[in-house]
Amino acid sequence: MLWIALALVLLAALGAPFFALIAAIALLGFHAQGYEPALVAVEIYRLAEMPVLVAIPLFTLAGYLLSESQAPRRLVRLTEAWFGWMPGGLAIVALVASALFTALTGASGVTIVALGAVLFPALLHGRYRENFSLGLITASGSLGMLFAPALPLIIYGVVAQQLNTTPGVRMEELFLAGILPGLLMLLVLAVYSIWQAPRDVERASFRWSEALAALKEARWELPLPILVLGGIYSGRIAPSEAAAVTALYVFLVTVVIRREVAFSRLPQVVREAMMLVGGLLVILGAAFALTNYLIDAEIPTRLFEWVQAHVHSRAVFMLALVVFLLLFGMLLEGYPAIVVLTPLILPIAIGYGMDPVHFGILFIALLQIGLFMAPLGMNLFIASYRFRKPVTVVIRDSLPFFVLLLLTALVITFVPQLSLALLDRG
Amino acid sequence: MSLRQRLHRIEDLVLAVMGIGLLLLAGLQVCLRAFGGGVEWFDPLLRTMTLWLAMLGALVATREGRHLHIDLLARRLAERFGAWPGRLVLLFSTAVCVVLAQASYELVKLEYEGGAAAFAAVPNWLAMAILPLAFAWMALRFALQMIWPATAEPHA
């Protein structure tokens, strides 16, 4: 048993794909419980049985099509026209644009690479200090996962629903619950940016003509938030239907009306998007099997009893949870952490009186911060690679942002009302 | 164009056609439903397409070595010890995919004998058939990569 565990940890460290590792644990677990391996396949086949999963390729396609078009540039122009006059305006532009981009594509590293390429030089040009700018771009990949239709929210929802918790976890509730905590993270970094903004430069003054022109230029993109958010947040249509409408609309705008994504580019773009989806869904499929094994072997229950015997105070449990989730967010890069840890920890969290929706929000908030936590957070290396700075410099420059977001995450953890206020149950 | 490149082209094409197909069909279904219509078997069809897209996407990700994994240590070790740690990982991935391919083949066989329909006239076993196919294909790919390492293809 110990040897198998050690071998798997070693393989993970050597770079084995997460789906293979998770599937291996599930296969071994099913074998130990005396079940046929075909039952693992039954679990993976559930990828074809859940209506909500159709939303994942659709939203991803929409995100990739948008990022291939001129929409990111228009987004930057629009936010600049409306916020650029404020002190720290450009930094706020970077934060808001990155959050929206991550929410749509669900890929935080892509945000740093795609938007950072535009925003980093722009910040330097606007006379922001270089270490502030680098830190900001690195941290900006860690915003936006709490806003619909970000994939981490959907994945958490799907996995949590497997556990049949009381109270349950509904997708619309998760989407609503993410809004205020997500905005708080943005607000904290925006205030810090205003404080850090260069004071001696002349800022562009607000001009109605530019503001309206930017608005007009973005007229096709403007209905999108209403389509996505209105559809999902109203709870009137299912996430998969909102995804279908969004994807079709984005396709029509980027390929047919604006023609910014050429027809000949389409196979490339779809391929890139589907590689992400495929990589994600095989992990999820393997995780269905793992969850099933864990529940069958009563491992969450035993884990809960063990924790309860050792941790008596709720506050201590929650602090330990914060440290644990940050660490795993750093090591497992988001999605694998969600699918593996949710079945193990959610039952314990509920045992300590936490709401499963609130747990999901703080879980994702901590995971996205873990993405740029020293020393191993993935985004540190992406930023280091993209902007040709030593990792140590990236770590130093992003540290103030990390501390601020960590404090915000503690608030999100210890003030459940922030997540639950917009819900009926709040 | 080599046989291998041609095969990659076909995979990409199927992926693209199916991805755009999913987008159009799902959009059409919502529009139809808004007017009180909606085709009943579209929903299971869309779900099955999602599974196929996922497996084909994973297959292409295998080809380019783009499955989610911990990257950092692997790169350091490769500098130190050459290709062997990577080969160990590939051996493991191959083994897991072989077992998964066989397990899902068993499932398809059971369904074939059971004979339920997934949607319209399409039987369940056919909808499932992508599982053993893709896992077997991935196993083969991982195995071959022990000899010829995966390379990300340049963007056109």
Domain-embedded: residue A6:
no
Which residues of chain B does A371 touch, with a Cβ-Cβ cutoff of 8 Å?
Answer: none
DSSP A261: S
Kindly report the nearest CA distance between residue A219 and chain B, in angstroms: 21
Domain-embedded: residue A201:
yes
| CB-neighbour burial class of residue A397 (10 A; exposed 0-12, middle 13-18, buried 19+) | buried
The number of angstroms, rounded, from the C-alpha of A413 to the middle of its chain's C-alpha atoms is 17
Residue span of the structural domain in which A263 resides? 16-419
Closest to A53 (Cβ–Cβ): which among B33, B50, B58? B50
Query: What does the pLDDT read at residue A292?
Result: 93
Question: Smallest Cα–Cα separation from A129: which of A203, A201, A202, A196?
Answer: A196
Kindly report the nearest CA distance between residue B67 and chain A, in angstroms: 6
CA dihedral sign of residues B127, B133, B134, B136: positive
Rounded Cα gap, residues A100 and A98, in angstroms: 5
Domain-embedded: residue A10:
no
Residue A395 tokens read as 């770590």
Averages of pLDDT over each 10 residues, chain B, 156 residues: 87 93 95 86 94 96 88 76 87 97 95 81 90 97 89 52
A vs B, Cβ pairs < 8 A, gives 207
Rounded Cα gap, residues A182 and A81, in angstroms: 23
Kindly report the nearest CA distance between residue A370 and chain B, in angstroms: 14
Averages of pLDDT over each 10 residues, chain A, 426 residues: 90 92 96 93 94 92 87 83 84 88 75 81 88 94 87 93 88 90 96 87 80 90 80 76 91 93 90 90 94 92 90 90 90 85 94 94 94 88 88 94 96 94 75
Domain-embedded: residue A424:
no
Q: Which residue reads 């990569």 in tokens?
A: B145
Closest to A23 (Cβ–Cβ): which among B88, B89, B96? B96
Domain-embedded: residue A4:
no
Query: What does the pLDDT read at residue A322?
Result: 94
DSSP A51: G
Contact status of A256 with chain B (Cβ, < 8 Å): no
Rounded Cα gap, residues A312 and A308, in angstroms: 6
Amino acid at A314: R
Query: What does the pLDDT read at residue A90?
Result: 86
Residue A393 has a CB neighbour count (10 Å cut-off) of 17
Which residues of chain B does A335 touch, with a Cβ-Cβ cutoff of 8 Å?
Answer: 68
Query: What does the pLDDT read at residue B156?
Result: 33
Domain-embedded: residue A356:
yes
Closest to B155 (Cβ–Cβ): which among A20, A248, A268? A268
Which residues of chain A does B47 touch, with a Cβ-Cβ cutoff of 8 Å?
Answer: 48-51, 53-54
Closest to A267 (Cβ–Cβ): which among B16, B68, B102? B16
Contact status of B61 with chain A (Cβ, < 8 Å): yes
Query: What does the pLDDT read at residue A426?
Result: 47
Domain-embedded: residue A426:
no
Contact status of B80 with chain A (Cβ, < 8 Å): no
Q: Where are the domains of chain B?
A: 3-147
Contact status of B32 with chain A (Cβ, < 8 Å): no
Instruction: Provide the 3-class DSSP secondary structure of residue A3.
Output: helix
* Contact check, Cβ <8 Å, A41/B100: yes
Kindly report the nearest CA distance between residue A125 and chain B, in angstroms: 30
Greatest alpha-carbon span in chain A: 72
- Residues 90-109 of chain B whose Cβ lies under 8 A from any Cβ of chain A: 92-93, 96-97, 99-100, 102-104, 106-107
Query: What does the pLDDT read at residue A216?
Result: 92
Query: What does the pLDDT read at residue A57?
Result: 94
- CA-based nearest residue in chain B for residue A251: B23
Query: What does the pLDDT read at residue A85?
Result: 84
* CB contact at 8 A, A147 and A179: yes
> Which are the contacts of A364, defined by CB distance < 8 A and separation ≥ 6?
A145, A146, A152, A153, A156, A178, A338
How is chain B classified by DSSP, letter by letter? Answer: --HHHHHHHHHHHHHHHHHHHHHHHHHHHHHHHHTT---TTHHHHHHHHHHHHHHHHHHHHHHTT-S----HHHHHHHHHHTTHHHHHHHHHHHHHHHHHHHHHHHHHHHHHHH--EEETTEEHHHHHTHHHHHHHHHHHHHHHHTTS---PPPP-
* CB contact at 8 A, A43 and A285: yes
Which residues of chain A does B68 touch, with a Cβ-Cβ cutoff of 8 Å?
Answer: 17-19, 279-280, 283, 333, 335-336
* CB contact at 8 A, A95 and A122: no
Closest to B68 (Cβ–Cβ): which among A17, A47, A240? A17
DSSP A146: T
Domain-embedded: residue A352:
yes
Closest to A278 (Cβ–Cβ): which among B16, B53, B102? B53
